[in-house]
Amino acid sequence: MLKTSKIFQAAFLLLISLGMLGIATAAQRRAIEIEGLQTLKFSVDHISAKPGEKLTVKLTNKTSLPPEAMSHNFVLLKKDADSGAFANAAINAKDNGYIPKDMMDKVIVHTELVAGGETKSVTFTVPQETGDYYSYICTFPGHYAAGMKGTLTVK
């Protein structure tokens, strides 16, 4: 009997610790909610973050147009990447969700394509290197050229 109660006690303590761990993890992970607008803009065009911070970007596409006419994605590029060149190459990468496979080394993180009415999230660790701007863009054809881009500042 005593042994059983000890086991329950241990299990209870384990559950408490796991619960606290969950709370700590949630607190460290900040969510940024961005809407992809029909005007070919991100509702949030600037994100400021700390080096090594965990961020979740939630991209919602507000359009009522069909996916082949108006999908969006969130593609965060490394700081040395040429975002215009990336967006141009993406036009020919429809079969890979408009992410050019041979330029994956320029990508920090990206969401899948988000169709109208949908939300897709991606969680990533902010780069350690501070003081620079990282660009994020939508690579659906024509959207970057129309201004669907933003910057991430790490400081």
The residues that touch Cu ion, with contacts defined as CB under 5 A, are: 72, 138, 140, 143, 148
Helix (H) or strand (E) holding 32: strand 29-36
The whole-angstrom separation of Cα 14 and Cα 44 is 40
Question: Which of residues 126 and 138 has its CB atom nearest to Cu ion in the complex?
Answer: 138
Question: Closest CB to Cu ion belongs to which residue?
Answer: 138
Which residue lies nearer to Cu ion by CB, 51 or 117? 117
Q: What are phi and psi of 107, to 5 degrees?
A: -105, 130
Residue listed under structure tokens 């042994």 = 3
CB of 23 to Cu ion, least distance (A): 35
Residue among 106 and 143 whose Cβ is closer to Cu ion: 143
Cα 12 from Cα 5, distance rounded (Å): 10
Residue 21 beta carbon to Cu ion: minimum distance, rounded to whole angstroms: 37
Look up residue 139 and give its two tokens. Answer: 């690579």
Instruction: Report the nearest approach of Cu ion to the CB of residue 73 (Å).
Output: 7
| Closer residue to Cu ion, CB minimum distance, 43 or 153 | 43
Name the residue nearer to Cu ion (CB basis): 44 or 54: 44
Alpha-carbon gap, residue 72 to 138, rounded angstroms: 6
- Nearest Cα neighbor of 139 from 120, 117, 121, 112 is 112
To the nearest whole angstrom, how small is the minimum distance from the Cβ of residue 36 to Cu ion?
5
Minimum distance from residue 103 beta carbon to Cu ion (Å): 18
Asked if 109 and 124 touch (Cβ cutoff 8 Å), the reply is: yes
